[in-house]
Structure 1
Amino acid sequence: MSPLKQSLPPIPDHRRAQGKLYDLPHRLLFSILAVMSGATSYRRIHPFIRTHQARLNEAFGCRWRRTPAYSSIRYALHGLDVEAIAPHFRAHALPLAEDAAVIALDGKTLRGRLDRFEDRRAAQVLSGFAVGERIVLGQVLIEDAGKDHEIQAAQRLIEILGLAGRLYTLDALHLQKNG
């Protein structure tokens, strides 16, 4: 069994009992594999799973007879609790990068997250990336779009990752002095 699959089962499933024809851990794992293979939307995740379904079933002990519809994949993934999932992904990624010497922190604005109707700014996240290992270690949401908030998010992410004594690279805005 893959280490990533082992970290997925404890993730809470928000769906009703009638909506659990396809189990969440396999659906999430197959979606991750699809995205890693270049799928950029729910409509592209579906054909990846359909094309590779026999191999995925065999490799991961799954018994799906049909591929879930893209709308079913979207519903299952949209309802996931990000705060509940993040520790599982960090727990998977940190051992892979325990010898990481350099960690890059960078903030990004998420495309398509601007909501003019509700007068909300686009969501921003700060990611920690182990450079030598080429793996994302974790992400935190930047609470507000201001520069000071990215600095606070960086401090929060470094604390969450618990990787003291490493070299961190950050944008120039993090060089501000207090007072």
Structure 2
Amino acid sequence: MATFTPLLDILADVPDPRRAEGKLYKLPHVLLFSILAIVSGSDSYRGIVTFIDTHRRTLNRSFGLKWRRAPSHTSIRYILQGLDPIGVEAVFRRHAALLHEANAKPGAASIALDGKTLRGSFDKFHDRTAAHVLSAFATDTKLVLAHLDIDAKSNEIPAAQALLAELGIAEDAIVTLDALHCQKNSSRSPRTPKSA
């Protein structure tokens, strides 16, 4: 399917956590079909398998595959949990940048930064609090350009500064943030004493 060819090419750059031999299912296709399943409402590994199994013939025909069955839910879990989050984020940032560049209107860009706590991401067993993620959203193209995990011992302020630096936002861009960022010395750590 030509529409997904650029995304498949970019997904091919995600490092594969599996051994080189015995790969029955190619990683870019597993990732693309997992994305399609999640967008369609699947919220579990079994849901992804059900989506692939239900649409397997159409997917085979559209992408030139010969899958006889969908991967098992344990295979999907093994593949997705083995991925390097930094590598996946880099690939998705590149994809978002290409889409943004193709659809952006000329003039000053407008980026909205917002932090969210991910529901259900806490882990009582490992005594880990819920994950907090900062997102950069391009309001003109309606694309999420990047995500950044906020360290449990930190907050949005240094994360926002790091994310803006990583994205290389133009000086004439309009950036909106929560009121949390309206501090006199937001670039200085709260524990750093003022010099006299």
Q: What does 1:24-173 align with in structure 2 at a 5 Å threshold? A: 24-98=27-101, 99=104, 101-144=109-152, 146=154, 149-164=155-170, 165-173=172-180
Q: Is the 8 A contact 1:124 1:145 kept in 2?
A: no
Residue identity opposite 1:153 in structure 2: A
* 2-structure distance, mates of 1:34, 1:115: 25
* 2-structure distance, mates of 1:70, 1:131: 36
Aligned partner of residue 161 in structure 2, secondary structure: helix
* 2-structure distance, mates of 1:85, 1:12: 8
TM-score, normalization by structure 2? 0.82
Unaligned runs of 5+ in 1: none
Aligned partner of residue 147 in structure 2, secondary structure: strand
Residue identity opposite 2:183 in structure 1: Q
* 1-structure distance, mates of 2:22, 2:151: 33
Residue identity opposite 1:169 in structure 2: T
TM-score, normalization by structure 1? 0.89
Q: Is the 8 A contact 1:26 1:62 kept in 2?
A: no
Deviates more, 1:37-46 or 1:25-34: 37-46
Residues 117 and 68 of structure 1, relative CA distance in 2, 3 Å threshold: closer
* 2-structure distance, mates of 1:49, 1:124: 30
Q: Cα distance, 1:143 vs. partner?
A: 1.1
Aligned partner of residue 55 in structure 2, secondary structure: helix
Q: Is the 8 A contact 1:93 1:136 kept in 2?
A: yes
Residues 64 and 14 of structure 1, relative CA distance in 2, 3 Å threshold: same
RMSD of aligned alpha carbons? 1.9
- Identity across the alignment (%): 55
Unaligned runs of 5+ in 2: 186-193
Aligned residues between the structures: 177
Q: Cα distance, 1:78 vs. partner?
A: 0.7
* 2-structure distance, mates of 1:161, 1:82: 17
* 2-structure distance, mates of 1:107, 1:85: 20
Aligned partner of residue 43 in structure 1, secondary structure: helix
Q: Cα distance, 1:115 vs. partner?
A: 2.8
Q: Which deviations, in whole Å up to 9, do the C-alpha atoms of 1:132-155 show, x marking residues without a partner? A: 322211101101354xx3111111
Q: Cα distance, 1:39 vs. partner?
A: 1.7
